[in-house]
A and B are shown apart, each in its own frame.
Chain A
């Protein structure tokens, strides 16, 4: 890299890079479907996955066994019916039938109202409801149990208010909970910036992972190595066409996120765009690096998926917060560029913060990209030399 170039030398270098880029674009056009795949697929994916990736729990399917059939039990069932959190999928006649509902996964939860429920409520005595829940999806079940508890607490409070009109009902210490940045607790606002980062990673890394190894496999790398093309020129010429595709993808997914999903954009779009470009440097650089260490395209594919993409997806904090991970795994997450980029996109989108807060992440991301590009250049030199 650090070679001093004269004016003519620089011109020649630029010409060589441009030629290589032209060749690369021609090769990409060999299968015109590529453009469709890398441009249209990410938008479609974002549109579908954006709706699907929600940890919000609603319409919990429940089955209710009403052994009482009193006014009180019907009142309680009515509350479950009208609640947006629950959807009654069945009213089995006896508790024995609950098994079937839970085994098949038709209902997540079954509530059984005992025969003396109405009497107990009328006489101001205590009553017990049995709630059986399918604990398979531990997270959603926890949330659903919370919904059931809240609904029943509300019912109890209404009963108390009816029993003692005029008396205030409430606790001694009251929590006032404020949720910052995402007051509606919309998981979509959290997930979609993450999906953007992931889509860019998958599309661009895979594109460039094939770039050099294809020439090796077909045998044209030999030919390239006898041309006066320097190794950094090779890497640049390979990188730029893919970078162009990546930037188109960035613009498209940002438009979908902001205008279609209406994710709040509290920070600067220009900064976000700039950060995406730095991020592309590391994803494309990673692909090129994989390409230089593989012998066949299949190897490149396996290496990039199993050694880079999967660890990045799961260890970056995309879905599973890093602070929940065991202490011995956490240090590894610092090696993952996606980790830094996620903090940056979420910070700019949801918190509206700028470089004054995000500079350490931005710096780490840039360093990562520069290092991997340098590694790719270095590796390709050994192969070419």
Chain B
């Protein structure tokens, strides 16, 4: 035979392009592209836009008495007047941003507090786990709104206090969810590898475990944001909100409900905006969660990942 030695192996080019990417960004983007996510995003963005731009485009001062009490909608006052004769449209446009900021801060407090408690309970186990989770159980045994009312009636209705109270009332639920997610992650070998490097527990949780909890964290954030909006608006309705004459959507519903038959728009519009906002954030969060756990991944991608992304483990 002419050939008696193998030909030298050809140079092997790297076939696969390897690129850096931010997974949670990718996930957010693919969530936004699902029908569910797109609807949620549009709804929520619309309300946010109203709240943010509103104060700059409002035709009248929200506190000026410019029309009749419960005046019917007219060309000059498209949504009519409220119980004191203030312009409803201007009050609606001005009344959103406080709610949004309070909801955002309360969510941040709830998520960070809950995550810290949940992750450390799960990772440290033992006594810490017992103490943290029993405290969580105690708070969980009160309905969230009742818990917030209890604290506020003890401490007084300050805006910052309302925000913190709502945030704290979220923490236990967040802690429960993240504890179970952490139990799973902390059993993985890379956590053990970090322990063998002599890493301090706090650093293990922060550097190794937390980055792997991005998906549950984002889902929780969306969910808690929705609840924050509902609870803060609800508290405002019950009288725990910015003091009069400030305009907020929750207060407006309360103030104007007596005139429901005279000028329903003064109640309907703020209620509708709150509803759209919560539906929007909740729908988008749902879309994100589905993408993150792979329900809504396009079937072809799913098959590729199942079939070829993993090797059989023994």
Judge: A and B partners, yes or no.
no
Interface residues in chain B, defined as those with a beta carbon under 8 Å from any beta carbon in chain A: none
Interface residues in chain A, defined as those with a beta carbon under 8 Å from any beta carbon in chain B: none
